[in-house]
DNA sequence: CATGAATGAGTGTTCATTCAT
DNA sequence: AATGAATGAACACTCATTCAT
């Protein structure tokens, strides 16, 4: 039930993580607690579903970006990917603390994202081997690039010092990624 | 009370995060629940103290590494910093899920770490400007490097694909960091 | 939940004030502790509800007596009021220590009783001004009479020396009240 | 230990009844909790001691008034007794909620006060039989008078409606008492 | 005697979950 | 399918009391 997932997000935004209880979520979603348990076996399942939904959204954006820049040079693609990543994480920023707090780290679908991201970058890099100085393992390259993009996007969005604009931070992330793939 | 903090870690290792209750922590620490509350105002305070202790430990390692490689070339220092970071995070790996789950994200001392790491790297880079091709803002550089080292160390330790050895992952992290600072 | 209030009274009677815990009250009431908290926000609220219920009962008796003796001479009314008061306090005598111990003195509805009693007596006296020698303020008269009746009824019931029968005590209370209103 | 009793009163005044714990009392009294338990077997004993001290103070005032007005006419004595009673209760008014809340109603010394007051008034009335119209039992008379004075003094002090000044209330109490003894 | 750190039984309260309607 | 009253296990926390120093 999408309504429940949205309710959880709304509760976090308005009342904080501590206010997220199954009963409150049902109430805000406008359904009965009984109905919530018709669709989710337990509380965890709600957060896992939320997680999966979020990952799917991000994944969709990634895929779209990949397709749209299929013919673009590596630099442009990377810039687009970073933009996409930051864009994807900009909506519902409160999701991060929530999921970090509530989703068990080996939960269903959690690691999927790393795999999917890794896969996406492997694909992207595979078709551009001529632009890479590194002759090294594509897997290794994709692993680093995926983590670079993911982690630095997060950092740019959430941990960037106040003196740095988001645009500047993005440029720096791109610089780091390109420096790596070109070295 | 150090005993309580150690007890919490032991409980997480042996019984999982869910088993961490104040009463259990007291029991495992070998003190009464009353004594726990003599030293910690509430449960959160225990986790915050645990967090702070961890941060202090890592910080100490960082500082030591910095001092020991004061005269070393940038490449060596970076390699040492990455080693130190991974080393620091290798002990008590279960601390991460725990703190992520239990420590409120703006809690006392939490963001200190980012600041301290940033400071450490700024210092390290400041004395090696001649090795940097980038004439850009030192702050900006330090921000990216700090996040690169922190995030990629984590990734190397916890998210590295099974085909990649830790040594290889470390080498790759170093490559990424150096590529950035030298570009 | 009436059952909970009754349970509290039963516990006090059988096990003493010290045995009144929320869990015990739920148990004796035959409901779960969760249900208690569905109807009462906290423990205090139970005692306040008990207080209010008691006050309402007494008030109802007072009102009935007032109506039933609307046409009676002052002496008869006062005798009836004293009887009613003592009657009202005779049931559940253990309520007094309980409420005195557990209800905060300015709690919701607590002071209402004094006001209601005062009002009742003011009404009763207002329609009998021809029987009063005192030309004084009706408010003042009602205040004293209300407190006389209330306090002396209590005294007659709970503090009367063993040599005095309840009937004799009542007669004495009446004598005191009438002496005052007639002086 | 007087210091402990004073500490309890100070805590009630400044922090409310809820803040009265043995540890806090020891702290405010400037002694260790261990010392408190050297002089009081348990927490109740502190309140009982406080009660007894209060009763003794009031009793002393009553006795003094009695002696000072040994030769005075009944009216004057009664006025003095009422004044004394109100005077006695004016200091430390927060004692009442405290003692009502914390002292078990049949505790040592509690009922003593009723007895002493009763005795005092019996003595006072015994030497003034010529002023009494009532030929009735002196015991009965003293019982009523003692309760009249006690209850109405309280009412005058703590429950008097705002329109009534303390002086007026006192006058009314006196009127009620005299009306009774003279009827 | 005095201290105060340590104790731990006991309490109020929460909230995920169930199930009769 | 939907409801939501009822459940009760589990938890954080308090505070009167003890006793080794």
pLDDT at B94: 87
Whether residue A109 has pLDDT greater than 60: no
C18 touches strand F (CB under 7 A): no
Instruction: Give the chain C residue nearest D183 (alpha carbons).
Output: C179
Percent of all residues in chain A with a pLDDT value above 70, rounded to a whole number: 95
Token pair of C50, please? 């008990």
Query: Which chain B residues are Cβ-neighbours of A97 within 8 angstroms?
Result: 105
Of B148, B151, B161, nearest to A139 by CB-CB distance is B161
pLDDT at A179: 94
**DSSP codes joined into one string, D4-51:** HHHHHHHHHHHH-GGG--HHHHHHHHTS-HHHHHHH-SSHHHHHHHHH
A144/B152 touch (CB, cutoff 8 Å), yes or no: yes
Quick: pLDDT tens for B23-37: 999 999 999 999 999
E14 C1' – A51 CA distance, angstroms?
26
| Mean pLDDT to the nearest integer, B142-159 | 92
Whether residue A99 has pLDDT greater than 60: yes
| Mean pLDDT to the nearest integer, C82-102 | 89
End-to-end Cα separation, chain D, in angstroms: 48
Whether residue C108 has pLDDT greater than 80: no
Lowest-confidence region among A163-177, B117-131, C157-171, D126-140? D126-140
Summary count for chain B: helices (H), strands (E): 9, 0
E17 C1' – D97 CA distance, angstroms?
43
Whether residue D96 has pLDDT greater than 90: no
Summary count for chain D: helices (H), strands (E): 9, 0
F19 C1' – D51 CA distance, angstroms?
30
Whether residue D141 has pLDDT greater than 80: yes
Query: Which chain B residues are Cβ-neighbours of A148 within 8 angstroms?
Result: 148, 151-152, 176
Provide the 10 A C-beta neighbour count for residue C128: 14
DSSP secondary structure letter of residue B72: S
E15 C1' – A109 CA distance, angstroms?
26
A161/B101 touch (CB, cutoff 8 Å), yes or no: no
pLDDT at C1: 84
Whether residue D107 has pLDDT greater than 70: no
Burial of D165 (0-12, 13-18, 19+ CB in 10 A): exposed
Q: How confident is the model at residue A132 (pLDDT cuts 50, 70, 90)?
A: confident
- The rounded distance, in Å, linking the Cα atoms of D61 and C146 is 28
pLDDT at D39: 95
pLDDT at C162: 86
- Cβ neighbours of residue A49 under 8 Å, at least 6 residues apart? A5, A40
Residue B139, min C-alpha distance to chain A (Å): 9
What is residue B134's three-state secondary structure?
coil
User: Do residues A113 and A177 make contact, with C-beta atoms less than 8 angstroms apart?
Assistant: no
Percent of all residues in chain D with a pLDDT value above 70, rounded to a whole number: 95
Token pair of B172, please? 């790759």
Q: What is the mean pLDDT of chain D?
A: 90
User: Do residues B89 and B70 make contact, with C-beta atoms less than 8 angstroms apart?
Assistant: no
Nearest to C119 by CA among C61, C62, C43: C62
D101/C97 touch (CB, cutoff 8 Å), yes or no: no
C38 touches strand F (CB under 7 A): yes
Chains D and C touch (3+ CB pairs under 8 A): yes
Q: How confident is the model at residue C171 (pLDDT cuts 50, 70, 90)?
A: very high
Q: How confident is the model at residue D142 (pLDDT cuts 50, 70, 90)?
A: very high
Whether residue D66 has pLDDT greater than 70: yes
B148/A144 touch (CB, cutoff 8 Å), yes or no: no
- Assign 3-class secondary structure to chain C: CHHHHHHHHHHHHHHCHHHCCHHHHHHHHCCCHHHHHHHCCCHHHHHHHHHHHHHHHHHHHHHHHHHHCCCCCHHHHHHHHHHHHHHHHHCCCCHHHHHHHHCCCCCCCCCHHHHHHHHHHHHHHHCCHHHCCCCCCHHHHHHHHHHHHHHHHHHHHHHCCCCCCHHHHHHHHHHHHHHHHHC
Distances, alpha carbon D110 to alpha carbons C90, C92, C129, D50, D154, in Å: 22, 22, 41, 11, 17
In chain A, what's the furthest Cα-to-Cα distance? 59
| Mean pLDDT to the nearest integer, C168-183 | 93
Of B114, B164, B183, nearest to A143 by CB-CB distance is B164
Quick: pLDDT tens for A6-52: 999 999 999 989 899 999 999 999 999 999 999 999 999 999 999 99
Distances, alpha carbon B127 to alpha carbons A132, B60, B74, B77, B138, in Å: 32, 20, 10, 12, 11
| Mean pLDDT to the nearest integer, C112-121 | 86
Tell me the residues of A at the B interface, defined by beta carbons under 8 Å apart: 97, 100-102, 104-105, 114, 118, 139-140, 143-144, 147-148, 151-152, 154-155, 159-161, 163-164, 168-169, 172-173, 175-176, 178-180, 182-183
Q: How confident is the model at residue C110 (pLDDT cuts 50, 70, 90)?
A: low
- The rounded distance, in Å, linking the Cα atoms of B178 and B121 is 13
Nearest to C2 by CA among C41, C49, C60, C59: C49
| Mean pLDDT to the nearest integer, B57-78 | 93
F4 C1' – D42 CA distance, angstroms?
47
Query: Which chain C residues are Cβ-neighbours of D159 within 8 angstroms?
Result: 114, 147
- The rounded distance, in Å, linking the Cα atoms of D133 and D136 is 9
Whether residue A136 has pLDDT greater than 80: no
pLDDT at C36: 97
Whether residue C117 has pLDDT greater than 70: yes
Q: What is the mean pLDDT of chain C?
A: 90
Whether residue D28 has pLDDT greater than 90: yes
Of C102, C143, C168, nearest to D164 by CB-CB distance is C143
More confident residue, C79 or B112: C79
Query: Which chain A residues are Cβ-neighbours of B153 within 8 angstroms?
Result: none
Nearest to D111 by CA among A97, B110, C162: C162
| Mean pLDDT to the nearest integer, A151-163 | 89
| Mean pLDDT to the nearest integer, A41-66 | 93
Quick: pLDDT tens for B44-64: 999 999 999 999 999 999 999
Whether residue D127 has pLDDT greater than 60: yes
Whether residue C58 has pLDDT greater than 70: yes
């Amino acid at each position: 039930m999408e309504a429940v997932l949205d309710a959880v997000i709304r509760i976090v935004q308005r009342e904080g993580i501590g206010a997220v209880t199954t009963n409150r979520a049902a109430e805000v979603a406008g359904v009965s607690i009984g109905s919530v348990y018709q669709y989710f076996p337990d509380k965890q399942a709600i957060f896992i579903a939320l997680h999966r939904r979020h990952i799917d959204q991000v994944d969709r954006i990634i895929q779209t970006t990949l397709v749209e820049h299929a013919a673009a040079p590596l630099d442009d693609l990377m810039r687009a990917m970073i933009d996409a990543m930051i864009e994807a994480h900009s909506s519902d920023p409160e999701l991060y603390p929530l999921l970090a707090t509530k989703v068990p780290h080996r939960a269903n679908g959690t690691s999927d994202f790393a795999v999917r991201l890794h896969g996406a970058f492997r694909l992207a890099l595979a078709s551009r081997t001529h632009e890479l100085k590194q002759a090294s393992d594509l897997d290794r390259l994709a692993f680093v690039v995926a983590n670079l993009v993911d982690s630095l996007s997060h950092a740019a969005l959430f941990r960037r010092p106040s003196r740095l604009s988001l645009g500047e931070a993005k440029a720096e992330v791109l610089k780091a990624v390109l420096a790596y793939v070109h070295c």
